[in-house]
Chains A and B, each alone.
Chain A
Amino acid sequence: MAEYKWPDAEKRQYIGKRISRIDGPDKVSGRAKYSYDINRPGMLFGKILRSPHAHAKVVSIDTSVAEKMPGVKTVKVINGPGYELQWAGQEIVALAAETESQAEDAVRAIKVQYEKLPHFVNEADRSKAPESYLRKPNENATGDVSKGFAEADVTVEGFYGNDVITHCCLEAHGLVTEWADDKNVLIHPSTQSVSPIGPELARALEMPASSVRVKMDHIGGGFGSKFPIDIWGIEMTKASKQAGGKPIKYFLDRDAELAVAGTRPSLYAKVKVAAKKDGTITAWESDAWGSGGMGNINGPLPYVFSRIPNTKTKHQTVATNVGPQRAWRAPNHPQLALVTMSAMEDLAAKLNMDPLDFFLKNIELTGARAVTYKDELMKAAEMIDWKKTWRPRGEGGLGSTKTVKRGLGLSIHTWQGGPHNSDCDIIINPDGTAEIRIGTQDLGVGVRTVLNIVVAETFGIPLDWVKVSIGDNRYPVSGGSGGSTTTGGISSSSRRGSVDALNLLFEKVAPTLGTAADKLEAVGGKIQVIGDPTKSMPWKQACAKIGVQPLVARGKHPGQGTLASAGVGGCQMADVSVDIETGIVKMNKFVAVQDCGLVMDLKTAESQVFGAMIMGVTYALYEEKIMDDHSGRMLNGNMEFYKLAGLRDIGEFKVHMMTGPGYDERGPIGLGEPPTNSPGAAISNAVANAIGVRVPTIPLTPDRVLAALSQAGAKKEGRG
């Protein structure tokens, strides 16, 4: 009988190998259809009138002119008179028309009177926040922080932070929605929640969950922002019904996408941290604040070095009239890594210690993963040639010139990545082909390829004999794609389902081979007696024994046996050059070392880390949701001034996945989030190492670099 456990390393045909994504050709050729590409006969186009004010009360709305305009089929007020709008871009009226331009004209014809109210949109300087915008702080303490500081030989105090950034999914949020009849809805959303979003829409519309069909093939980015059905999903589905069930296409325009479809909260902190001469950390104290819009946020410090014996922390949410936060690839972790690792590197600099030695000295403070971090730090140091290249802060790294300074920085990080609940159906057809059906979506991690690998590996057949079907809520329920939970969950369920299906096939084949089903194995395209290739039957011939009806097994996670686990560590090191005349930071080299348990596909795993590193360079150097104090509106709600890194900005990347004994036996662990956590910290530390001063907040834009240099110069000359 086949067993649930993952095959031993020497028996793996596909798992852990370098296999190209099966949907790669469709994506690069344009054959892959995203929800945005869906166009239906007789389709209407939805538009939404949004608030121009960051804080205002709706006094009156007149839609009468818009309702009579050519092509307009439905107009519906979302937030009517008396509603208090809390951010610019908040929804007021939804409508749909026969053409996009007719819908845009109709939106412009709606007359709204507002009572403007005071707003607050920039929280970096907490002292400027109105009292009513300051939420009750969360305070915690461990050990005796006064004693910890008293025991120390060196103490540093610093200010660190990152601004609010926004999700920038290249496929905007939205959907195509239509009523198949007066009771049944079909939606093509751009969502991370194939299985959950149908019941969500149904519940909001107070209709049976079984009446909502969800279908989508590909998603153009989500990063945590595409879990809900969203107000536009609900309102456009209502509008479709009002329009006789006609399909309506609604996707956010880019300015709305950047303004309202999700932010990553800011985090700022004043940190005091201390150590003995030998580098032993004795105490940590921090006063942190940040904003995720109107809602509360959380921010446990210190990050990873969570076992510092004496700590005192305070965290306060500052409300702002900025579009609401959403989960953004590893919620909180990049911000917490930046604050913690920056303070650590500043402390190492004051101790005149190499930060690599300083981190290794204190690695036990990270807890149970200390050995992993140590191994990863050593590996990353080797990859970037740290010991040869690193120079003490401010000395100018190897290769520096009078105006261009080079520096190295590092950071470590973690993430849960536990597997989510997942069901799937594994089907073996009488012709020997197989199919997996599962209500998940590929958020970009290579889900189709991972599923293909697991099923083909279990059956011992070529990859292209397996069809992977995802993106439909008629398939077995799997968790939403997010939180780095997908690969663990779907790998486990698909392995169990495949093993169960295979054992059913063994039952059919055993009599012909003259043995018992539990004496069979599937290897190299054959069913054979375990260890005896002379008593075998080709896979396709074996499958013919099924008869005419396909054989089906339901795979589940959780289930018998431990096939996945949780908790990873990672390390990143950045090599940068900074032009001290222009303030421009250039990435020379960026290395990442990451574990994720059992690697299912080495190529897509590395690709995940590369993607996170690009995203990391972007948020470290460029990304910023710039809010205008005066108007309360986002100033860079477009792709021209909301800056993302391009190919020429990222430098040389190197990735190493920690695999083999000590890692593989943990089973797969999610990888999407973790490598996103360190880039801001590693790059900020590299810049500090290069120019000799800390640039307190990211993104490390030229003006901030120059300001930090200027301030340091002024201090040195006694002017600051």
Chain B
Amino acid sequence: MPELDNLNPNRPNLCSSLRWKGLFYTATEKDPDVQPSNSGYFWCLHSQTCLGPDGGLAEPGECDKPTRGCHKGEVPLA
């Protein structure tokens, strides 16, 4: 069952601060006969909401744009 392209996190240049539920557990087995359960629930590590620090949407389709002001390849450690 195709899913909304904007919600597909498998894309290059994805901001390292984008978060979604699936990152918090990695389910190793999947049943192909069960429909995808991606809720569309994404959030930014820094704002902790569905909006990034710049006020734009925190979603794969929006967070793969390195030109976006808040886009991070890596988060620096102090």
B24 touches A416 (CB 8 A): no
Q: Is A326 within 8 A of B41, CB to CB? A: yes
Which residues of chain A from 319 to 350 have a CB within 8 Å of any chain B CB? Answer: 324-328, 330-333, 336
Interface size class of B (residues with CB under 8 A): 35 or more
Question: A270 CA to B40 CA in the complex, in Å?
Answer: 22
Residues of A within 8 A of B75 (CB): 203, 206
Whether the Cβ atoms of B37 and A295 lie closer than 8 Å is no
Most buried by A among B6, B46, B61: B6
Q: Give Cα A227 to B1, complex, Å.
A: 26
Q: Which of A61-69, A560-568, A613-621, A709-717 lines the interface with chain B? A: A560-568
Measured between beta carbons, the chain A residues less than 8 angstroms from B31 are 416, 418, 565-567
Say yes or no: A416-B57 contact (C-beta < 8 A), given A203-B75, A206-B78, A479-B26: no
Q: Are B41 and A418 in contact (CB under 8 A)?
A: no
Q: How many A-B residue pairs have CB under 8 A?
A: 181
- Which of B45, B50, B59 interacts with A293 by CB under 8 Å? B50
Q: Which residues 50-74 of B have a CB within 8 angstroms of A?
A: 50-51, 55, 57-59, 61
Looking at the assembled complex, report how far the CB atom of A135 sits from the nearest CB atom of chain B, in whole angstroms: 8
The CA of A207 and the CA of B78, in the complex, are separated in Å by 6
Q: Interface readout for B15-47 with A: 1 if CB under 8 Å, 0 if not?
A: 000010111111111110111111111110111
Whole-angstrom distance between the alpha carbons of A230 and B21 in the complex?
13
The answer to whether A306 touches B1, judged by C-beta atoms less than 8 angstroms apart, is yes
Report yes or no: B37 in contact with A296, Cβ–Cβ below 8 A: no
A675 to B57, CA, bound (A): 32
Report Cα–Cα, A450/B26, bound state, in Å. Answer: 20
**B41 contacts across to A, CB distance below 8 A:** 224, 292, 295, 325-327, 331
Complex Cα spacing A317 to B37, Å = 16
Establish whether residues B35 and A200, one from each chain, have CB atoms under 8 Å apart when the complex forms.
no
Query: Are A489 and B25 in contact, CB atoms less than 8 angstroms apart?
Result: yes
Please tell me if B2 contacts chain A, counting CB pairs below 8 Å: yes
Are A298 and B4 neighbours in the complex by a CB distance under 8 Å? Answer: yes
Are A566 and B34 also in contact (CB < 8 A) when A229-B48, A231-B48 are? yes
Residues of chain B within 8 A (CB-CB) of A231 are 47-49
- Cβ of B12 < 8 Å from any Cβ of A? no
Asked whether A330 lies within 8 Å of B37 as measured between CB atoms, the reply is: yes
The reply to whether B38 and A325 form a contact with Cβ atoms under 8 Å apart is: no
Q: A296-B6, A324-B49, A325-B50 are in contact. Are A331 and B35 (CB under 8 A)?
A: no
- CB of A303 within 8 A of CB of B24, answer no
Partner of A298, one of B28, B30, B38: B38
Instruction: Give the CA-CA distance A207 to B75 in the complex, in Å.
Output: 10
Cβ of A671 to closest chain B Cβ, rounded Å: 14
Inter-chain CA distance A204–B43, complex, in Å, is 13
List the A side residues contacting B43 at CB < 8 Å.
228, 324
Contacts of A297 in B (CB 8 A): 4, 39-40
Query: What's the minimum C-beta distance from B27 to chain A, rounded to whole angstroms?
Result: 4
B4–A200 CB distance below 8 A? no
Complex alpha-carbon distance, A558 and B58, angstroms: 31
Instruction: State A136–B7 Cα separation when bound (angstroms).
Output: 12
Out of A193, A294, A368, name the residue touching B57 (CB < 8 Å). Answer: A294
Cβ of A419 and Cβ of B57 under 8 Å apart?
A: no
Question: CB-CB < 8 A to A486: which residues of B?
Answer: 25
Q: What is the minimal beta-carbon distance from B58 to any residue of chain A, in angstroms? A: 8
Please tell me if the beta carbons of A224 and B30 are within 8 angstroms of each other in the complex.
Answer: no
Measured CB to CB, the closest approach of chain A to B56, in angstroms, equals 10
Contact B77 A300 (CB under 8 A): no
- A557 is an interface residue with CB less than 8 A from chain B: yes
A140–B43 alpha-carbon span in the complex (Å): 27
**A414 to B, closest residue via Cβ:** B34
A20 interface residue (CB < 8 Å to B): no
B42: nearest chain-A partner, CB-CB: A295
| Cα distance, A202 to B39, chains bound together (Å) | 26
Q: Which residues of A contact B40 (CB under 8 A)?
A: 265, 292, 295-298, 317, 325, 331
By a CB distance below 8 angstroms, the chain B residues around A207 are 77-78
Determine the residue in chain A with the shortest Cβ distance to B3.
A298
B contact residues around A368 at 8 Å (CB): 33
A327 contact set on B, CB distance < 8 A: 21, 39, 41
CB of A409 within 8 A of chain B?
no
A207 to B57, CA, bound (A): 26
Chain A proximity of B37: nearest CB distance (Å): 5
Asked if residues B30 and A416 are in contact (CB atoms below 8 Å), the reply is: yes
Distance in angstroms between the alpha carbons of A296 and B57 in the assembled complex: 9
Provide 6 A-B residue pairs closer than 8 Å at the C-beta atoms, listed in order of the A residue.
A136-B6, A227-B24, A298-B38, A325-B50, A416-B34, A483-B37
The list of the 7 closest CB pairs from A to B, nearest first, reads A567-B31, A331-B39, A479-B25, A480-B24, A420-B25, A418-B27, A295-B50
Residues of A within 8 A of B (CB): 83-84, 86, 90, 136, 138, 140, 192-193, 196, 200, 203-204, 206-208, 224, 227-231, 233-234, 265, 292-298, 300, 303-304, 306, 315, 317, 324-328, 330-333, 336, 366-369, 414-416, 418-421, 479-483, 485-486, 488-489, 557-558, 564-567
Known A296-B61, A333-B37, A567-B31; 4 more pairs at CB < 8 Å: A265-B39, A300-B2, A485-B27, A566-B29
